[in-house]
Structure 1
Amino acid sequence: MTVDSNSSTFLAIMLARFLSGSEGYLVETLLILWKVVDGNCRGEKVAWSDICLPKNKGGLGIKDLISWNKALMIRYIWNLVHGSNNLWTTWIKTYHLKGRSIWEVTAPQMCSWNWRKLLKLHPIAHPMIRHIIGNGLDTSLWFDNWHPDGPIHLKWSSRVIYDAGLLKKAKVGSIVHGEQWVWPCSMSIDLLEIKNYMPSYNPNSSLEDCIKWLPTPDGIYCVASTMASLKTPHHLVPWFELV
């Protein structure tokens, strides 16, 4: 059974009549916003991204379900990177990652819809996760976000891995000796650039690496902070108290 636009609009109007309080007001506001007259929508279209803005920024304060869904999916990436020990992460590491970093994996032709969508969130999630190096044993040298310039594999080509004479799966610990950064000798211009712009702190072989979620002050993953990071900044509107 299909419902035409007139029928769906009528249902929305009836729903607004039966709902009480803020819920009914919200439905009526949406009908006004869409300029519903005699069961027909007229006027300019309004983007959901604008409607989902807070009221003090010109929106209606409706939860942005697209950003919310992305934030929940990014949590799975955080669990994989942070080393959460549960059935799902164990299964993913065994059957999908197979010893590789989550950041070097691309979606194969034959894979589940969920896994493909998760991998597409790489560009969003990667800058939000920072590795603070201790002994470097838990951080990928080439793929994790620990270097001041960001993940090495994103800024420099894979040639630098060959020039360094290190494995693709090498950890940062391979260039940590005590409290010093020690790179292999090489005349590679890219490698020299990497060496010259290392973290301002020294590593420490007696400490474990620390993984931080940058959007939160305490470095722990939070859905709310992730959603806030996904939103485009908007200025406060002077008339929001009148709505």
Structure 2
Amino acid sequence: MDSWDKVCLPKAFGGLDFRNGQRWNHAILAKYIWAVSEKHDVLWVKWINSVYLKGSDFCSYRLPQDTSWYWRKLCNIRGKFSREDIIAAGLNRKFNSANLYIQSLNHVQVINAQLLTFDNLLRFKVPLDSVMCPVCGVNEESHSHLFFACSLSVKVLEILAEWLNIRLWPYEFYRWRDWLSSRNNGLLSHIYNMLFVDVVYCIWRNQNCCIFYLYSQTASSIAAEVRLLMQNKLISISKKKLSVQGTCLIAQFTM
């Protein structure tokens, strides 16, 4: 993560909330992806489906070589966002580019920012005094251990599972991925994705505190921080026009 990426993080994530022009442009263009995917009843969408897609699903559509530059640019935006995030940004038939931008920024910075746990540092041949987890000191540090197997992280997940009244709570990355992809409800899936991002962020920040300040938060304080981040985001979502079911779902998580 370079300095500009850090500056562009939301203030809640330690940045200055500057807008990243490229990613903001992608979020705006994603509105057209949403319109095409949802097959809106407008002339240009009908034309796209008739001339280019011809009944194919837009997300799995294979772009041919001989196509116009604007259609190629739009298709290339598909890889910038998940289908779930685009659907969530278009709740109630009104697309919210700002929410998509913030959500995608969180995913890019937290999930895909090449978090340099000790196992990755060794691959770059960075000299280390120890490769043991700075939080528990029991096992070697890796993504899998830090976020899902470390005794502190497990306790955090247990507290959050109790808060959300979830019994089948995954404790490995790949199980998390499968679990998130199995959530079919658009808003609920969006909430669980936000939760995953916030859990990773808070655990990672505590790991940095252990390294640089020799101090670790308790599991309950980390879980409380995750809940606060989640509730602030959900309050923002609740200000939009939601269905009765969506309003009840938001209320369930903000009580």
Give TM-score scaled by structure 1 length: 0.38
Q: Specify which structure has the higher proportion of helix.
A: 2
The structure in which a higher percent of residues are strand is 1
Larger Rg: 1
TM-score (norm 2): 0.37
